[in-house]
Structure 1
Amino acid sequence: MEWPLQDAKNQFSKVVQKARHEGPQEITVRGERTAIVLSARDYDALRAGRPTLVDDLLGGPAWDDEFTDAVDTRSKSPSRDVAF
């Protein structure tokens, strides 16, 4: 169902209930589709199986031995003197 923003604001509980029982609810601003209200179940289904930011960071390219050695042998002190 499509809801103009003002109606969605005034009847937010109804919008949420319809999202839970009837599916996604479209919110429009000046007739333009702007936002979608989803039930938690629909949102979870949409996100299922997608990697998280942590998965993306941990799944990055492997470091070769030369790069690993360069990181391990670099100076442990700060590169510049910073006074706080």
Structure 2
Amino acid sequence: MKWQIQDAKNRFSKVVQQARANGPQTVTVRGERAAVVLSAEDYDALRAGRPTLVDDLLTGPPWDDAFVEAVNTRAKTPSPS
């Protein structure tokens, strides 16, 4: 269902109920699609199996030995500007 933003603001609990019962609810601004309200279940299904930013950072390419050495030997305090 489509909701104009003013109606969505005034009836937010109804928008959420509709998202839970009937699927995603589209919110429009001046007739243009602006946002979609999803149930938590639908959101979790969208996110399932997708890595988080932390996962991406932790599974990046391995550091070579020279880079590890440079990181370990750098100054431990910030350099003056």
- Structure 1-normalised TM-score? 0.86
For structure 1, the residue ranges without an aligned partner over 5 or more in a row are none
Report the alpha carbon displacement of residue 47 of structure 1 after superposing the two structures with TM: 0.8
Report the alpha carbon displacement of residue 69 of structure 1 after superposing the two structures with TM: 1.6
Give, in whole Å, the separation in 1 of the partners of 2:33 and 2:56: 31
Q: Quick one: which amino acid aligns to residue 61 of structure 2?
A: P
1:76 matched to 2:69: no
Q: Equivalent residue for 1:36?
A: 36
Structure 1 residue matching 2:35: 3-state secondary structure: strand
Q: Structure 1 pair 34/77, CA: closer, same or farther in 2 (3 Å)? A: closer
User: Between Structure 1 and Structure 2, whose CA radius of gyration is higher?
Assistant: 1
Q: Describe the superposition over 1:24-82 as per-residue Cα deviations: whole angstroms up to 9, x where unpaired.
A: 0000011000010000000111111111121111111111111112222233343228x
Give, in whole Å, the separation in 2 of the partners of 1:34 and 1:77: 46
Q: Percent identity?
A: 73
Q: Equivalent residue for 2:63?
A: 63
RMSD: 1.5
Give, in whole Å, the separation in 2 of the partners of 1:76 and 1:17: 53
For structure 2, the residue ranges without an aligned partner over 5 or more in a row are none
Number of matched residues? 81
Indicate the larger mover: 20-29 or 72-81: 72-81
